Structure 1
């Protein structure tokens, strides 16, 4: 019995000491900057001589950058999700926004502002896309993971401050997935033959993110990337640019203007452009180290 009481006393004392002992706060090395948005638009007509069609639309999105930085270690994560629809009288519902963009990059400092790094990235969309403004009766041209792009590579990251990050990967694998059987045709997204579900490429990938504060409550985020395939036609660069102009009206209301430019020879031999403008609810998170 004495031994049992002695053991119990030791356990209680140990627990009390553990509760009194300061615990290091590892969360102080994390920073989270993000925004959740919900944009709405609506137009109604009644006996309007100028003409027009009643319509209502919405767009929801989440954009997060979650970073960990301690000593010589740098770990950056990006989560970009967005989806939107517009319903027009006598035309029906059409998709206006659809994006899934996830990436992670870990670096170990090798000199001032430079890191040896490696990372992964995934890009695709939520729902099918169709010709003629995403009309479900038209020909399907895309779907979830059709295409889907998975990248994995190693290289170097340059980060002189919180507003600019550049990553150069001279060794980068890129897989294009077409998991929708209706779209597995020769030539679609670079597929080599009928029935193929993926395409492998290996080359150079460069990415950069630059944040600019234009004035109080007005920021511009620029993201760009370039990929060159060593294995076939390295001169056919895959180029993309995304710009987001965020104009904060008050704590909960913001106006967003986005611009996307892209060129990918395997998708279409022309420059692709998408632009959106919206005003709505925006909930911002800014928890820095």
Structure 2
């Protein structure tokens, strides 16, 4: 565990020093080298029916939230990109307790050094987990199947990045150690594979691995934007078609007015250590979105 924490600390410090080195060539620092943005949105839905409503229905309330942020630095050949994404939602149907409808924590930090206009070297660190416990409600008893840091995935990457324009980026990391955490040992009782972590342990380390990480973020028009992210992870030691992990995250935001928007989010995962099938979730919401940026 100490080795893992030391590696994480080294990568964070290395990324920070590299960005600082690129930023300190001219003093005082020019903040125009930064491109930063933060947005936060909330949505609320409610439905109620009288006891004699013949069309049928269930009284319910639902609440959702999304917060995204970025802070990207670029000067000369150096760049430092940081992205944060937080999503959470709950729903309550009459006769049931509150249940989650969405839950995601994602953080990505990347240092880059340009070789030419389209290619560059990079080192990166990304982290994925969730806020609260997840349950399987299909049986007579609610079974705990996930939680905060259970699982959590910390993936590093060292390799080449292809970035032909501002919308698309592709990272190829032939060296990409990953650490999988399961902080609650009770989860192994309900998830036989324990998310790939050996039973009785809280962490699995995959030192020899490959990662492909692609992003496509496009502002289609003034009122419509698409953000997508695809990750492929392959452990060299267990390499086979069925053991390659895939994850696709997709968000579409359509603005109706300055502060009112429609947001569609989707998560699609294939990871044999979680489940032999493809997992997916999606949510569509109408709500309020507020955004601030350092760009006019």
Q: Please give the TM-score of this superposition, normalised by the length of structure 1.
A: 0.86
Note the C-alpha offset of 1:206.
0.9
In structure 1, the residue matched to 2:41 is 37
Unmatched 5+ stretches in structure 1: 1-22
Tell me whether 102-111 or 181-190 shows the greater mean CA deviation: 181-190
The answer as to whether partners of 1:63 and 1:81 remain within 8 angstroms in 2 is: yes
Matches of 1:211 and 1:278 in 2, distance apart? 20
Does residue 1:142 correspond to 2:146, yes or no? yes
Does residue 1:278 correspond to 2:285, yes or no? yes
Does residue 1:218 correspond to 2:224, yes or no? yes
The answer as to whether partners of 1:184 and 1:191 remain within 8 angstroms in 2 is: no
Larger Rg: 1
Cα pair distance change 1:203/1:288, threshold 3 Å: farther
Match of 1:95, SS?
A: strand
Match of 1:160, SS?
A: coil
Q: Supply the RMSD in Å over aligned alpha carbons.
A: 1.9
1:105-120 equivalent positions in 2, closer than 5 A: 105-120=110-125
Deviations 1:125-162 (A, max 9, x none): 110000027x9951100011110101112111222222
1:1-289 equivalent positions in 2, closer than 5 A: 24-46=28-50, 47-132=52-137, 137-184=141-188, 187-192=193-198, 194-201=199-206, 202-235=208-241, 236-288=243-295
Cα pair distance change 1:93/1:137, threshold 3 Å: farther
Matches of 2:88 and 2:117 in 1, distance apart? 40
Unmatched 5+ stretches in structure 2: 1-26
Tell me whether 158-167 or 251-260 shows the greater mean CA deviation: 158-167
Note the C-alpha offset of 1:43.
0.6
Matches of 2:38 and 2:230 in 1, distance apart? 19
Match of 1:111, SS?
A: coil
The answer as to whether partners of 1:130 and 1:136 remain within 8 angstroms in 2 is: no
Matches of 1:275 and 1:125 in 2, distance apart? 15
Matches of 1:212 and 1:73 in 2, distance apart? 23
Match of 2:70, SS?
A: strand
- The number of residues matched between the two structures is 265
Matches of 2:77 and 2:220 in 1, distance apart? 31
The answer as to whether partners of 1:254 and 1:279 remain within 8 angstroms in 2 is: yes
The answer as to whether partners of 1:184 and 1:196 remain within 8 angstroms in 2 is: no
Tell me whether 66-75 or 154-163 shows the greater mean CA deviation: 154-163
Query: Which structure has the highest strand share of the two?
Result: 1
Match of 1:77, SS?
A: strand
Matches of 1:191 and 1:262 in 2, distance apart? 18
The answer as to whether partners of 1:184 and 1:197 remain within 8 angstroms in 2 is: no
Deviations 1:24-49 (A, max 9, x none): 45211000133211011111111211
